[in-house]
Chain A
Amino acid sequence: MKKTNLDEINRNIYDIKNKDEYDFKIKKGLTPEIIEEISKQKNDPEWMKEFRLKALDVYNKLELPTWGPDISELNMDEIATYVRPKTGLSNSWEDVPEDIKNTFDKLGIPEAEKTSLAGVGAQYDSEVVYHSMKEDLIKQGVIYTDMETAVREYPELVKEHFMKCVPVHDHKFVALHGAVWSGGSFVYVPKGIKVDIPLQSYFRLNSPESGQFEHTLIIVDEGASLHFIEGCSAPKYNKVNLHAGCVELYVKDNAYLRYSTIENWSKNMLNLNTKKAIVGKNAKMDWVSGSFGSKISMLYPMSILNGEGAKTEYTGISFAGGGQNLDNGFKVVHNAKNTSSVVNAKSISKNGGKCTYRSLVRINENAKNSKSSVSCESLMLDDISISDTIPTNDIRTDEVEFSHEAKIGKISDKTIFYLMSRGLSEEDAKAMIVRGFANPIAKELPVEYAVEMNNLINLELEGAIG
């Protein structure tokens, strides 16, 4: 991300709308014919086409969730699920069309690639338009490519892992994803290889009345380590856009994976995303997540601690403004001895925005001597905003340490007066309190993203004071 000065940021960066130009846009709706057409357009192998059609069947059989935010406004007959940009995949920014390159430039991607990343993938609408990784990682056998290339070139690895961690039956939008997925990144880090500098994939949805369904599949083999960063944004349109991506992470024995996300979808986006990790013996999976955008978000990353001594940490923040309903949280299943999970979730709501922390901690009978500690804190900036905590704790053995702490607070007038007496305007005072609240999360983000998050907070607070 581009390092921006706190004062010079504006929403325009995210709101750049390019003309809705594409090479191919599937007609709206969801029928077997449409799925077959997508499959044909994408040059799928036969097994993938079959997979898509089966997923569509599952989609049609599953019901919408009966809990959480109301998503009845989503009408799949109004969504084009596949939009191929007017360019192919390249590994040089020079070859990316001007307007698309400009968008990523403004988002700071090529710049970050030069200074702080080991590899970059950039998706525009349904396809990845740029992918590249440093030479030395290629030499070490690290694979980082778009998902389509992976299906073609590493069919065995893909078949073994694709939608095995997140099976299509998980819920309706996973089934949808299985039917129409396109784009995303594939990463394989071979045994014992430590990738010290992060890889980053950025997902940009430009096309109106469409959806983005990228599939990210990461395998960190035994004893290897990786930091993967995911960013996403879209300009705002009047009609609903849909994001139903899927992230599958395999953290093998003794491996380490850190998955950081800054999500800044526009406020007409329904973000129904699914992320899951399977964590092996003595391996560790860390999630860091900043959720700012979307009209509605239902996102509950999940760690399944399958190996003895597996660990996971979730550090996340959601920021909901007026008209936003962010239903986010974390799920963890302790499925082996001596496993541990730590959750630090925060949310901020203002101008009538709603944040819900919805979580699951399940400690199975076989997970003796495990630990789980959950802390969630929310801050409401006014009286019309809403914050809620809906934890489910399913603890099936006595031999565990479990703690859950929830705090809901408001910015007090006294605190604002205190800060104003030190020369801060009311706006500055609120921003300082919010930044301070978010700081423990910001510290977990890569530094450029921490700056980015502060910028987003400032943006969100602008004009918030009446």
Chain B
Amino acid sequence: MSNNLLEIKNLHVNAEEKEILKGINLNINNGEIHVIMGPNGSGKTTTANAILNNPAYTKTNGNIIFNGEDISNLKTDEIARKGVFMSFQLPEEIPGVSVTNFLKYAKNKITGEPVKIFQFKDELKKYMEELNMNPKNMERSLNVGFSGGEKKKNEILQMLVLNPKLAILDETDSGLDVDAIKIVSKGIEMFKNENNAVLIITHNTKILHSLKVDYVHVLVNGKIVKTGTQELAKEIEENGYAQYK
């Protein structure tokens, strides 16, 4: 059995009849951290949504293989239960559902097992301390009235609790100050091990100052135009995307 976790082959995706992704190829192995960088509107969020099969996007060609299984046409919740997680660029607000209850419910759905309350609470407490989160927020409605930073940290908390095989982090770093970005990096390091992988999606390079990554892909206009290592991120930091347009 190979170490391959995610394989995207020649993926074409439309949104509202318009082609957004124009043949994406991507391989992610267990134990790796990948970064997709690209200017606004290049198709980064679309890629993440396509992996989780958001019905608002239509795949017109290609497939997505996860852990050796074609997940292209599975429902979002099935894909999530197979171990794919996405931290949202704009997390949704759920009035009347507390963060704790939400996490307990989601964990039960993901694992298919009853959640052991005390263990769960301890785990939650530990993660929240690490992420420097206000424990009071746990009883508040999910994301309702949270600041941008609180929402992003909450996404990382969900990643830690749900413990997926592949975590896709869509702009989790954007809009955060340096300290908050460090906390997000710390969360990623806590999560990361040899049997899972992370796909970071970002339009800037700040998070790469505090996190070591294995591969950097440059996505421009629906295509990956270059793949490299951490060095590539530095180059983009200096020269921008202009040369790839």
Contacts and interface: CB of A to CB of B under 8 A. Distances in A.
Interface of A: 412-415, 417-426, 428-429, 432-433, 435-440
Given A422-B80, A425-B77, A436 B54 contact: no
B97 A435 contact: yes
A245 B121 CA distance: 48
B242 interface: no
Contact of A421 (B55, B56, B76): B76
A131 B158 CA distance: 51
Contact of B110 (A415, A423, A432, A437): A423
Given A423-B162, A436-B141, A415 B76 contact: no
Contacts of B109: 422-425, 428
A433 B158 CA distance: 18
Contacts of A436: 94-97, 141
Nearest to A429: B77
Given A428-B105, A437-B96, 10 more contacts: A413-B55, A415-B94, A418-B91, A421-B77, A421-B80, A422-B106, A422-B110, A433-B97, A435-B97, A438-B96
A200 to B, nearest CB: 26
Nearest to A441: B96
Contacts of B75: 420, 425-426
B95 A420 contact: no
B9 interface: no
B80 A420 contact: yes
B235 interface: no
16 contacts: A417-B55, A418-B91, A418-B92, A420-B80, A421-B52, A421-B77, A421-B86, A422-B158, A423-B77, A423-B81, A423-B109, A424-B105, A424-B109, A425-B75, A425-B77, A436-B96
Interface string B82-101: 00011010011111110000
A328 to B, nearest CB: 20
Contacts of A429: 77
A419 B96 contact: no
A390 B92 CA distance: 30
A419 B101 CA distance: 13
A405 to B, nearest CB: 15
A56 B75 CA distance: 61
Given A413-B55, A424-B105, A433 B94 contact: yes
Contacts of B76: 417, 420-421
B176 to A, nearest CB: 20
A167 to B, nearest CB: 40
A460 to B, nearest CB: 17
Contact of A424 (B77, B85, B95): B77
B210 to A, nearest CB: 26
A421 B45 CA distance: 14
Nearest to A437: B96
A218 to B, nearest CB: 31
A169 B137 CA distance: 53
Interface string B140-176: 0100000000000000001000100000000000000
Nearest to B87: A421
Contacts of A435: 96-97
Contacts of A425: 75, 77, 109
Interface pairs A-B: 6 shortest CB-CB: A436-B96, A439-B96, A423-B109, A420-B76, A436-B97, A418-B92
Contacts of A432: 94, 97, 102, 105
Nearest to B110: A423
A414 B91 CA distance: 9
Given A420-B75, A422-B162, A439 B106 contact: no
B66 to A, nearest CB: 14
A437 B95 CA distance: 6
A429 B55 CA distance: 15
Contacts of A412: 92
Nearest to B93: A415
Contacts of B97: 432-433, 435-436, 439
A423 B86 CA distance: 11
B25 to A, nearest CB: 23
Contacts of B96: 435-440
Contacts of B86: 421
**Most central of A412, A413, A438, A439 by chain B CB within 10 Å:** A439
Greatest chain B CB density within 10 A among A412, A415, A436, A438 is at A436
A413 to B, nearest CB: 7
Specify which of A413, A420, A421, A426 lies most central, judged by the most chain B CB atoms within 10 Å of its CB.
A421
B172 to A, nearest CB: 14
A429 B109 CA distance: 11
Nearest to A438: B96
B56 A413 contact: yes
Contacts of B54: 417
B109 to A, nearest CB: 4
A423 B49 CA distance: 15
Interface centre among B86, B97, B158 (most CB of A within 10 A): B97
A419 B102 CA distance: 9
A438 to B, nearest CB: 7
A424 B158 CA distance: 14
B56 A417 contact: yes
A422 B105 CA distance: 9
Contact of B92 (A415, A426, A438): A415
Contacts of A426: 75, 77
Contacts of A414: 92
B80 to A, nearest CB: 4
Contacts of B55: 413, 417
A457 to B, nearest CB: 12
Contacts of A437: 95-96
Contacts of B77: 420-421, 423-426, 428-429
Contacts of A413: 55-56
A419 B94 contact: yes
Contacts of B49: 417
A344 to B, nearest CB: 13
B136 to A, nearest CB: 18
Contacts of B81: 423
Nearest to A432: B97
B222 to A, nearest CB: 21
B73 to A, nearest CB: 15
A433 B105 CA distance: 13
